[in-house]
Amino acid sequence: MMGKVYLIGAGPGAADLITLRGAEILKRAGVVFYDALVHPDTLALAPQARLVAVGKRCSRISTDQRFINRNLVEAAAKYTVVVRLKGGDPMLFGRAQEEIEALAAAGVACEVVPGVTSALAASAEIGVSLTRRGVSRSVTFATPRVGEGEDTSDWAPSVASADTAVLYMAAGQAAEIARVLEGQGMSPATPVIIVESASLPGVRQIGTTLRGLAENTDLQIHGPALLFFGEVYRERARALIAAALLEEEVADELPQRRALPR
């Protein structure tokens, strides 16, 4: 008897953002192959399972996709419930298709359990709807990232033409991306928000404009991050820019304040 492989979306990070269905399957899992961005609290939902890290984190060591596919097929021969736990939703920038096809080719049953993709969790943090009546009727999820050996991607036109756009795996090249989008005719005044570590304790939002993004080559982002573009962010970006300026002013004044006699 072959086991079944579940591709489960772990959500954006916070352990309570996994679905009830995903959590229930984790409780029964014999083995869990998990991504680098899966939080330890989420793994704790499978205390009985063998945990195997097959992490993928930009520019850090990652496990080869063919190795993951082979492991999933082999695990199905040993365990009744095999879980492939992916950050966010498995069907968005998660290489789910390769795993689904490898499992189908080996005759292994597979089921996908959706998760909260990071763009939706980050939108909740920003507190601004991706769509808005009369302002935004189209949303693009895109990435400029191309894997090794892949053809170049024409990601920019769809981002430049969407009312609202979210870029995954892009924060490391943000300035270059902004220049490409300006070249596509996107206004330099387009509001931009960067959300780092959505749903996690270190969550951070940065407000800017497309021109601001092009000029800032050192964003100091260390966690996973998304770039949001669009008119819907005008107010929020303005408030974030004002708050950051105020913080800078206070920081500049602090040493003088400390130096003042009491």
Q: Which stretch binds ligand SAM (CB under 6 A): 19-27, 75-83, 146-154, 221-229?
A: 221-229
Which residues are CB-contacts of 121 (< 8 A; sequence separation ≥ 6)?
A: 11, 12, 13, 14, 17, 88, 198, 199
CB closer to ligand SAM, 3 vs 37: 37
Catalytic pick among 35, 86, 89, 186: 35
Q: Does 38 bind ligand SAM (CB under 6 A)?
A: no
Question: What does the buried/exposed string (b/e) look like for 178-208 if buried means 16 or more CB atoms within 10 Å of the residue's CB?
Answer: bebbbeeebeeebbbbbbbbbbbeebbbbbb
Residues 112-151 that bind ligand SAM (CB under 6 A): 117-118, 122
Residues touching ligand SAM, count (CB under 6 A): 23
CA-based end-to-end distance of the chain: 79
User: Which of 12, 22, 144, 207 is in the footprint of ligand SAM by CB under 6 A?
Assistant: 12
Residues 87-106 that bind ligand SAM (CB under 6 A): 87-89, 92-94
Q: Quick one: 251 exposed, middle or buried, by C-beta within 10 A (0-12, 13-18, 19+)?
A: exposed
Of the residues 29, 37, 68, 126, which one makes contact with ligand SAM according to CB under 6 A: 37
Helix (H), strand (E), coil (C) string for 154-191: CCHHHHHHCCEEEECCCHHHHHHHHHHHHHCCCCCCCE
Look up 163 and say whether it is catalytic: no
Identify whether 56 is a catalytic site residue: yes
The residues in 176-195 that bind ligand SAM, with binding defined as CB under 6 A, are 195
Of 4, 56, 91, 163, the catalytic one is: 56
User: How are beta strands 204-209 and 191-196 bridged, if at all?
Assistant: antiparallel
Least CB distance to ligand SAM at residue 200 (A)? 6
Helix axis angle, 96-105 to 65-78, nearest 10°: 50
Q: Which residue type does 224 have?
A: P
Per-residue binding string, ligand SAM, 41-80, x by CB under 6 A, is ----------------------------------------
Determine the residue with CB nearest ligand SAM: 88
Which tokens belong to 226? 């998304």
Pairing of strands 81-86, 4-9: parallel
Choice between 87 and 191, CB closer to ligand SAM: 87
Of 52, 92, 226, 66, the residue nearest 148 (C-alpha): 66
Query: What CA–CA distance (Å, rounded) separates 66 from 147?
Result: 14
- What minimum distance in Å lies between the beta carbon of 167 and ligand SAM? 7
* Catalytic annotation, pick one of 2, 4, 163, 169: 169
Per CB under 6 A, 226 contacts ligand SAM: yes
Interface contacts to ligand SAM, rule CB under 6 A: 12-13, 37, 86-89, 92-94, 117-118, 122, 168-169, 195, 197-200, 224-226
Residues acting as catalytic residues: 35, 56, 169
